[in-house]
Structure 1
Amino acid sequence: MASHPIRLRTLLGDYPNTRALRNGELESPLAAFDFADVKVANRAFKKVVREHAFDVAELALVTFLQARAYGKPLVLLPAVVGAGRFQHHCLVHDATRGKLGVAGLAGKRIGIRAYAQTTVTWVRGVLADDYGVDLDAIEWVTFEDGHLAEFPDPAGTRRAPAGATMAQMLFAGELDAAIIGTELPDDPRLQPVLPDPFAAARAWSERHGMLPINHMVALDAGLCRDRPDVVRDIYRLLQESKRRAGAPADGVDMTPFGVEANRRALALLIRYAHEQRLIPRRYEVDELFDDTTRMP
């Protein structure tokens, strides 16, 4: 097999666990990485699935599942990147307008960035599974299109006014709650809807025997077919970049590597996505990988 270096169009966020690769500390004899100049990787996810703009790309997992459903030529690499987190605390409300509990969510307006966002999928799954919430009894207010052009907002959703933010609409009483991930403002008025969310998240994680994951690396299917040696080296580099970041201070590895380390999380997210009508069937975890990327 040829081993000449190839240039790879690459989308990868700047995190502690990717920094050694992004800043050039780590190099491959087989490939050179042309990193996209984007401040936040998720803002380029549409280019991954709509324009086939990258050979190697960080990608939200629900976006990948939908991409698979619509026949996009992508294969998952079992390398979790980004700043992993629990999700229970992401459902918030404006506490100055009174307490909102889980039992009161029916009929309420909940803001979400996009209907098929991975964080939103996790939170809705928790609400339905653990708290018995009827997801169809909620009015979901979206702020942007999903990453897949083939998947528009479903019936029963409403689009927020152009230029509005979830925090603004919460404080104005135009939303009753919102699911906000990394953009959650540090504002004491915004309080979690779920009781004791961090303890609940840890208990949920222990019960399921897994950690919630949001982003993995996706690869061009042609690269996997034609250059398995390069694919294996990409995985090696990502592992080494993570190792150089050091162990997390709390000892909880939120970015596990390998199919088996992520099997339970992927299986649960697949179930949630199917039950929320984001994908047409419940894929088997092994369907997301090929013979090259099915790392132990």
Structure 2
Amino acid sequence: MAFTIGCYRYDTTRALFDRTDVTVKTAATLPEIFERTVRDHEFDVAELGLTFYLRLLESGLPYVALPIFPNRVFRHSCVFVNKRSGITGPGDLVDRTIGEFGTYGQDSGVWAKGILMDEHGFAPARNRWVIGGLDRPAAPFGFVPHPHPDDVPVTTSDRALGDLLVTGEIDALFSANVPQCVLDGAPEVGRLFPDFEPLERDYHRRTGIFPIMHAMVIRRELLDAADEVYRLFTAALSSAADGYRRDRRLYQVPTMVPWMNALVERNEAQFGADWWPYGVSANRATLETYLRYHYEQGLSSRLWAVEEVFALPDT
């Protein structure tokens, strides 16, 4: 069957773009793919942020999620602070004004808040939340609902959150992307966890969780083809993994990133052969944790079970 697929061009999906039996489209940013999926139903199979999918699940979204996870990122690194705010650790995130890109509870924010709640006693209701664009003014995403608990104060800003962080008008920022002010080396801003890699590696060793941001969804009327789609994406993932394994002999020079080979060897030691497993069984703990966070943060009306959310539950 010839599918139209909408997804970002990751190393794990790159092989799909070279196939002739499917049509693969992408966009400059991921929210563009999400919006074209939700508003226009443009694709047969599409990448969609987990929180966007869950928010729309009860309202009859004509797509069903598959346990294919093209985007996974550890999120200790996604909390940025104004250095003059007095925030030197998680315990200082109390009675603060905090920005979040696009919506209260973007996938990166769901994970970061959840980890801080579990491990540092963080309480979102003890802060004021401001939603807006990251590096330029932007309204909250208009293609999804924006739930939040009544006791969590949420407002919107017509100014860029990165600018507000530099001036100290917000104390902290939860963001899926690195703000331009950080990339530019603005002295006023930094990360809550400057040395985040050891923390994220320790978190993974203790919990087994590699946070999932997005899943692929398929039109409900095409569910009979879900196994075929799963095989397509698994083959593309395997192509990427095989490339990294082959390139160990060449010190990963196809990327020309210094010390990339050392990074691949460290990851191989920590993750084993399968860095990005698909399927429910290999990801159950991660998925159940995310569904719990989504419910605890007031973004779901009830606690969803994994089997209610994903097709192919036996994978």
The TM-score with structure 2 as length reference comes to: 0.80
Q: Which runs of 4+ in 1 moved over 4 A?
A: 96-99, 152-155
CA contact (8 A) 1:78 1:295 kept: no
Cα deviation, 1:77-102, whole Å, max 9, x if unaligned, reads: 111113x3210111111325554322
Task: Check conservation: 1:67, 1:148, Cα contact below 8 A.
Answer: no
2:76 paired residue number: 88
C-alpha displacement of 1:199: 2.4
Aligned counterpart, 1:58: 47
1:234 aligns with 2:232: no
Where relative contact order (Cα < 8 A, 6+ residues apart) is larger, the structure is: 1
List gaps (5 residues or longer) in structure 2. Answer: 133-138, 245-263
Matched, 1:109 2:106: no
1:157 matched to 2:154? The reply is: yes
* Equivalences for residues 68-217 of structure 1 within 5 A: 68-82=57-71, 84-95=72-83, 98-113=86-101, 114-143=103-132, 144-146=139-141, 148-151=143-146, 156-161=153-158, 164-184=159-179, 185-186=182-183, 187=185, 189=187, 190-194=189-193, 196-217=195-216
Percentage of matched positions with identical amino acids = 28
Structure 1's unaligned 5+ residue stretches are none
What is the count of residue pairs matched by the alignment?
A: 276
Q: Distance in 1 between matches of 2:275 and 2:58?
A: 27
Which range moved further: 145-154 or 63-72? 145-154
User: 1:21·1:241 contact (CA, 8 Å) conserved in 2?
Assistant: yes
SS at match of 2:212: coil
- State the 1:182 CA deviation: 2.8
| Cα RMSD after superposing both structures | 2.3
Partner letter of residue 206 of structure 2?
R
CA drift at 1:153: 6.2
Give the aligned partner of residue 16 of structure 1. Answer: 11
Instruction: Give the TM-score taking structure 1 as reference length.
Output: 0.84
Q: Do the aligned residues in 1 keep the contact of 2:110 with 2:293 (CA within 8 Å)?
A: yes
CA distance in 2, matches of 1:261, 1:165: 39
Cα distance in 2, alignment partners of residues 233 and 147 from structure 1: 32
Task: Classify 1:170/1:254 alpha carbon distance in 2 versus 1 (closer, same or farther; 3 Å).
Answer: farther
Asked if the contact 1:111–1:175 (Cα under 8 Å) also holds between the matched residues in 2, the reply is yes
- Is the Cα–Cα contact under 8 Å of residues 10 and 56 in structure 1 kept in the other structure? yes
Equivalents in 2 of 1:121, 1:147: separation in Å? 19
Report the alpha carbon displacement of residue 217 of structure 1 after superposing the two structures with TM.
0.6
1:240 Cα deviation from its structure 2 partner: 1.2
- Higher share of residues assigned helix: 2
